[in-house]
Amino acid sequence: MSVKVLDKAVTRERLRRRYKEAFREALKRRGYDKDGKLLDGPLKSPNAKPLFGTFEVHVHGGLGFHLKFPVLVQQAGLVIDAVQRECQKNAGRNFNSSYGYDNDIWTQAIMRRGA
């Protein structure tokens, strides 16, 4: 997404890895594995509920490339907290019908995949 600012593929890949690791660290701190499944053991949070759904992160303009890693983890944690609140709020509801996506082919494909 940052092609105009970060013209070298190796630089964009480095940014992608930074975000990926930041999200993995934020998930781990909240008692989840890298895919959002609950961890067993001492890292399991008492408030942790399984996460569901899919989200994508689009980075424009190289945003986050020069941030310190703990700040990036903190920002990823804010996103995970928001997803966690939505999952708790919508637990037990049919995801497609609750958001009006019944006829959306893309959403149906994601839900069949089990994401």
What are the domain boundaries of the chain?
9-113
For the chain, the maximum distance between any two Cα atoms, rounded to a whole number of angstroms, is 45
Asked if 82 and 26 touch (Cβ cutoff 8 Å), the reply is no
Model confidence at 54: pLDDT above 80: no
105 or 15, greater pLDDT: 15
Closest CA to 72 of 9, 39, 26, 14: 26
Alpha-carbon distance 80 to 22, whole Å? 11
> Is the pLDDT assigned to residue 37 strictly greater than 50?
yes
Mean pLDDT, the chain, as a whole number? Answer: 75
Q: Would the pTM count as exceeding 0.75?
A: no
DSSP 35-103: TSPBPPSTT--TT-----S-------TTTTTTS-HHHHHHHHHHHHHHHHHHHHHTTTS-HHHHTT-TT
Chain centroid, CA 72 distance in Å: 13
